[in-house]
Amino acid sequence: MEQTENDILRRVRKIEIKTRGLSNEIFAGKYHTAFRGRGMSFSEVREYRAGDDVRDIDWNVTARSRKPHIKIYEEERELTMMLVVDVSGSRLFGTTDRLKKNIITEIAAVLAFSASQNNDKVGCIFFSDRIEKFIPPKKGRSHILTIIRELVGFRPESTGTNLSEAVRFLTNVNKKRCTAFILSDFLDPEADRTALDDALKIARGRHDLVGIRVCDPREEELPDVGIIELKDAETGRKVWVDTSSRAVRDYYAARWRQRTEAIGETLRHNRIDTARVSTDEDYVTELIKLFKQR
């Protein structure tokens, strides 16, 4: 169903109220702890105390004052967060009261507001089997709302998926280190695992990557509801399936497990922290678990 401008604005406002509240109450502190700054910057000088590291002595100040002084450093908190968001056709699937797109949008908004609370820049990459849109990193509430508005109303040109293309673009467009969240169902039927592995390996060397996989219960197993027509949201291919057949349901479930294990192995091999969120689950619990494991 086509969304009007007013529909989009109402949805943006609703998402802002919900996710900004979650960010303020739950995630801002956990985000600060889980995602460190770029390094240490000079803060001040003070007199040397027993137990201080002698390597931090400021010899110029020590010589002038004739008393040993050391340099104090603090963590540089400013980060750049990139949201790498899957906008392929499969995100419009959902058999609960929420589509995968709704979950991805809310999680992206929570992460963006958490970053904003820490005065970090936030940027966004929308991808299908091509790069659909790039929003350069900036600070501020109005910028976060622009990203949410795009998440709600964006219409991609393509319905396919190419994860490796999105990861390569992330590497090329961000010269400085950033924290990048890949929000996707990771359903890439034409995936070249070698190409994805290579792209992740290069990106992981430059950036802090986190994968958030959003799925739906019906992608894992088929219910016994007789003969039904299934349609691939990305290719448009249709097929009739007899779900009353145990062999058919077992094959469907096995294929899902194979896909899950393959992408899980690729992410683990590249040491990428990952959370899995289902449309029938509370994503808050999974995000907190993700932050705690870092």
Task: Report whether 81 contacts 135 (CB < 8 A).
Answer: no
**pLDDT greater at residue 192 or residue 252:** 252
Which residues neighbour 93 within 8 Å (Cβ) at sequence distance 6 or greater? 99, 100, 216, 219, 233
CA distance 238 to 199: 32
Give 112-145 pLDDT, tens digit per residue: 999 988 889 999 999 999 999 999 999 999 999 9
Q: What is the mean pLDDT of residues 5-26?
A: 82
The 10s digit of each residue's pLDDT in 235-263 is 889 999 999 999 999 999 999 999 999 99
pLDDT attached to residue 45: 87
Instruction: Give the C-alpha separation, 290 to 3, whole Å.
Output: 33
Which residues are registered as beta bridge partners of 126? 85, 133
With pLDDT > 90 as the criterion, what percentage of the chain qualifies? 63
Low-confidence winner among 184-198, 228-242, 280-294 (lowest mean pLDDT):
184-198
Q: What's the mean per-residue pLDDT of the chain?
A: 89
Mean pLDDT of 39-61: 80
Where in the chain do CATH 3.40.50.410 domains reside? Answer: 5-34+78-292
Bigger pLDDT: 226 vs 54: 226
Establish how many alpha carbons lie within 13 A of residue 109's alpha carbon, considering only the half-sphere containing its beta carbon. 27
Q: Topology of domain 5-34+78-292, per CATH?
A: Rossmann fold (3.40.50)
pLDDT at residue number 52: 85
Task: Please state, in angstroms and rounded to a whole number, the distance separating the CA atoms of residues 159 and 93.
Answer: 12
* Assessment of whether the complete model's pTM goes beyond 0.75: yes
* pLDDT above 70 as % of the chain: 92
Name the pairing type of β-strands 227-231 and 238-242: antiparallel
Q: Give the pLDDT score at 37.
A: 56
